[in-house]
A and B are shown apart, each in its own frame.
Chain A
Amino acid sequence: MYGNDFSAPDDATGGGLLGEVEAAEAELRAAAARQRRGGPAPDEDLAAYFTAVVDAEQKIEPRDWMPDAYRKTLIRQIAQHAHSEIIGMQPEGNWISRAPSLKRKAILLAKVQDEAGHGLYLYAAAETLGISRDELVRLLLDGRQKYSSIFNYPTLTWADMGAIGWLVDGAAIVNQVPLCRCSYGPYARAMIRVCKEESFHQRQGYEILHTLSHGTPEQQAMAQDAVDRWWYPSLAMFGPPDGNSTHSAQSMAWKIKRFSNDDLRQRFVDMCVQQAEILGLRIPDEDLRWNEERQAYDYTQPDYDELMRVISGDGPCNRERIARRRAAHAEGAWVREAAAAYAAKRAGQKEKVAA
């Protein structure tokens, strides 16, 4: 494919996280090589067997027995992730037609295409749990399943392509790297592939901002404005503070989730501070400072009331994002029907030939 043809600067970031993805991949291979002990004995308690597999850091596979709530949690989480990839194409897709150079146009188009690929890959992972993609898409269109709230913010300038790559993809990777060790095999494997591509996207975003922040005064201002607008929504991507998070404890026990929302958020902040310095951009937080005792940065929490408003549907772009998805689905109905009718005719002809 054309497009991804720039060399990242030497100080490009993401290497540390990519290293962790590779470690998780090696672990996954090792676990597969060790093999699980044989299936449950005929008189063995299935729940006990499930727990033993999870505790031994082995993977649960689609045909294994699993608690209903585990299945439901995974379907919800994987579907939400798939929907986020699909809806997430819109804010960036908004700048493909206006990308300021042909190289940037190619990179952005390829990136948005990757997101569609991630969406399909994740829907396929969800389907291993016994639900169809059509059902999941229906739940999205009816507003009964969510997608990441970050995509309900508008992309107002070209620098937003940089800020989304650096901050939004960066936050997504910090969130997702631990999922490469998720107890459910198909999800863990999907996450390894997704994280590798995401870390590439994050570097591309960082590189866009780097170019802008070393460009004309107008470009520098554009870059800073984008960081100012995307910083707190990116922090909010890690979800509500630990005390208020409804799904966390059980997911931790099942080894779907490995770190708390607040731990991941802290990790993201610590990672960004140094990168912002290299970029020459300011993180919009007066209270951001190193805490020697905690060996981490103190920072201002995002506005969780705003997060709740956006989640509940009242962000700047919720209505437009879902309307676009519904319109594409509705306007494409005649095309999908034609493809099905054509396939049925072909199948009929083949049967006739065979008979």
Chain B
Amino acid sequence: MNGPFDFTLALGDDALIAAQRLAEWTTRAPEMEEDIALANIALDQLGAARLLLSYAGELEGAGRDEDALAYLRDDRQFRNVLLVELPNGDFAVTMAKLFFLAAYQLPLYTALAGCRDERLAAIGAKARKESAYHLDHGALWVKRLGDGTEESHRRMQAAVDQIWPYTHELFAADPAAPVDPATLRSAFDETVDAVLAEATLTRPESRWAPAGGRTGVHTEHLAYLLAEMQVLHRAHPGAKW
């Protein structure tokens, strides 16, 4: 990554794609309370995405606003990590994604709140409170499912096994960035180890570490997500909504 624009754009894309996936659960959650909770988290992510993308547009100085960045880029120009674009799967997979993402975003936003860029610091200060709630929520479900029934344990372990490889990309070193993601790894490991242990789950040994999101080389899933998200906006060039 290169400079505050790329960094801000990458964080904004993480939040936007996470919001888009979480919102897919609306009307489909296992409990009505959970429908509300997932929508709430999606709204938090969307709110952070809007702040980050708006700021990225300003940093770039080419006149692109949040909507131009969200709706008028193709998948090769998106900079989100692969983890957020993966399909929702069952509820266990969604909770694995949510838990790992929050365990990364909480130390990230906390560090950002203390960075020198005032705008990023303000966004970090706001978003870290929300991430703390997302982490609580995700961790609670990982524990419930891990230490619930035989079936839920099996599903939750499978979800952890499936998602875990994608967590490595979150911590790719970038010493020039306002917050170097590599510095967040130990806080993440500490959180994850404690929760997985309590949930009677094991951390997979897999050394496979898929990556490429930060340079715009994504999974096959992202283009479909964007096709749906962007279809209406692109069908009416220049229209106001």
Contact = CB atoms under 8 A, between A and B. Distances in A.
Interface in B129-180: 143-145, 147-149, 151-152, 155
Contact of B46 (A109, A216, A339, A341): A109
Interface stretch (B2-10, B30-38, B103-111, B189-197): B30-38
Contacts of A260: none
A215 B145 contact: no
Nearest to A335: B30
A26 B151 CA distance: 52
Most chain A CB inside 10 Å of its own CB: which residue of B24, B34, B35, B50? B35
Contacts, number: 148
B233 interface: yes
Given A106-B47, A337-B148, A345-B147, A100 B241 contact: yes
Interface residues of A, number: 48
B121 interface: no
B66 A1 contact: no
Contacts of A110: 39, 43
B239 A97 contact: no
A120 B36 contact: yes
Interface in B67-85: 67, 70-71
Given A105-B46, A106-B50, A116-B39, A332 B29 contact: yes
A218 B228 contact: no
Contact of A328 (B27, B144, B148): B27
A335 B231 contact: no
A90 interface: yes
B219 interface: no
Nearest to B42: A109
A90 B30 CA distance: 15
B115 to A, nearest CB: 22
A158 B152 contact: no
A244 interface: no
Nearest to B46: A106
B84 to A, nearest CB: 15
Interface in A100-136: 100-106, 109-110, 112-113, 116-117, 119-120
B interface majority secondary structure: helix
B23 interface: yes
A110 B33 CA distance: 14
B28 interface: yes
B37 to A, nearest CB: 9
Interface residues of B, number: 50
A323 to B, nearest CB: 12
B232 interface: yes
A339 B90 CA distance: 15
Nearest to A327: B28
A97 B228 contact: yes
Nearest to B95: A335
A72 interface: no
B187 interface: no
B229 interface: yes
B26 A96 contact: yes
B159 to A, nearest CB: 12
B236 interface: yes
Contacts of A112: 26-27, 39
Interface string A67-90: 000000000000000000010011
A280 to B, nearest CB: 16
A106 B236 contact: no
Contact of B144 (A103, A105, A158, A339): A339
A334 B149 contact: yes
B183 interface: no
Given A328-B27, A342-B147, A98 B32 contact: no
B42 A101 contact: no
B232 A98 contact: yes
A324 B239 contact: no
B207 interface: no
A342 B26 contact: no
B36 A117 contact: yes
Contacts of B148: 337-339, 341-342
Given A98-B231, A120-B36, A337-B149, A211 B240 contact: yes
B46 A97 contact: no
A9 to B, nearest CB: 14
Given A2-B44, A2-B50, A106-B50, A97 B229 contact: yes
A51 interface: no
24 contacts: A86-B32, A89-B26, A97-B229, A99-B232, A100-B71, A100-B232, A100-B233, A101-B67, A109-B39, A110-B43, A112-B39, A113-B35, A113-B40, A113-B43, A119-B32, A120-B33, A216-B236, A216-B239, A218-B239, A328-B30, A331-B30, A336-B30, A337-B152, A338-B149
Interface of B: 16, 20, 23-24, 26-36, 39-40, 42-44, 46-47, 49-50, 53, 66-67, 70-71, 90-91, 143-145, 147-149, 151-152, 155, 228-229, 231-233, 236, 238-241
Given A3-B47, A93-B26, 18 more contacts: A2-B43, A97-B228, A98-B232, A101-B67, A101-B241, A105-B23, A109-B23, A109-B39, A116-B32, A116-B36, A120-B32, A216-B238, A334-B152, A337-B151, A338-B145, A338-B152, A339-B148, A341-B152
